[in-house]
């Protein structure tokens, strides 16, 4: 891994089907997006598998001219702490609600793997 930068490592994990976050060696804070050093204190970072659980912090629908479908863009607060931009699938884009419990899924578009979310089935 010494040759691969943080972005490349993140993508390599995704290709293996693993959504990984970084954690600061200093105080255990989770970090997203991938970096070479931890924000704030510059601490070393280690990779840890994400739980995949999160909640919708905010949501919008990008409106397209029909027949092109409108789609969701959301900010997800991960259970581990970091927030990321993503989208919630498996539900109409306007039915994505703030506070909704969601779970991560890895999808591949072209050659690029990335993380999307779906509503948590057994949400409390």
Partner 1 sequence: MSDAFPRGRTAIVGAATFGIGKAPGFEASDLAAKASIAALAQAGLKPSDVDGLFFCHPTDTLGGLSFAQYLGIQPKFVDNNRLGGSSFQAYVELAAWLLAAGAIEVALIAYGSNQATASGKLVNTVRPMTYEAPYAPLNPVSSYALAAARYMHEFGARREQLGEVALAARGWAQLNPEAFKRDPLTMETYLASRMVSDPLSVLDCCLVTDGAGALVMTRTDRARDIAAKPVFVLGAASETTHREIAWMPDLTTTGAARAGARAYAQAGVKASDIDVAETYDAFTINTILFLEDLGFCPKGEGARFVEGGAIAPGGALPVNTHGGGLSCVHPGMNGIFTLIEAVRQLRGEGGDRQITGAKLALAHGNGGVLSSQSVVILGAPETL
Binding site for partner 1 (CB under 8 A): 7, 32-33, 57-63, 71, 73-75, 83-87, 94, 98-99, 109, 112, 114
Phi–psi pair at 3, nearest 5 degrees: -85, -20
Question: Which residue's CB is nearer to partner 1, number 66 or number 122?
Answer: 66
Question: Which residue's CB is nearer to partner 1, number 99 or number 122?
Answer: 99
Question: Which residue's CB is nearer to partner 1, number 56 or number 122?
Answer: 56
> Rounded to whole angstroms, how far apart are CA atoms 36 and 4?
11
Q: How far is CA 110 from the centre of its chain?
A: 18
**C-alpha separations of 124 from 29, 54, 66 in Å:** 26, 13, 36
Smallest distance, Å, CB 25 to partner 1?
21
Question: Which residue's CB is nearer to partner 1, number 29 or number 87?
Answer: 87
Residue 76 exposed, middle or buried by CB count within 10 Å (0-12, 13-18, 19+):
buried
Smallest distance, Å, CB 42 to partner 1?
17
Smallest distance, Å, CB 90 to partner 1?
15
Smallest distance, Å, CB 75 to partner 1?
6
Torsion of CA 94, 100, 105, 106, to 10 degrees: 60
């Amino acid at each position: 891994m010494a040759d691969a930068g943080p972005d490349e490592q993140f993508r390599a994990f995704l290709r293996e089907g693993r959504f990984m976050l970084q954690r600061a060696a200093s105080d255990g804070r989770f970090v997203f997006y991938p970096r070479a050093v931890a924000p704030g204190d510059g601490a070393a970072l280690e990779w840890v598998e994400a739980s995949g659980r999160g909640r919708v912090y905010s949501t919008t629908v990008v409106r397209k001219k029909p027949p092109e479908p409108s789609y969701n863009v959301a900010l997800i607060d991960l259970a581990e702490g970091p927030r990321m931009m993503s989208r919630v699938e498996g539900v109409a884009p306007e039915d994505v609600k703030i506070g909704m419990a969601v779970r991560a899924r890895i999808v591949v578009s072209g050659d690029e793997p990335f993380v999307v979310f779906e509503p948590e089935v057994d949400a409390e």
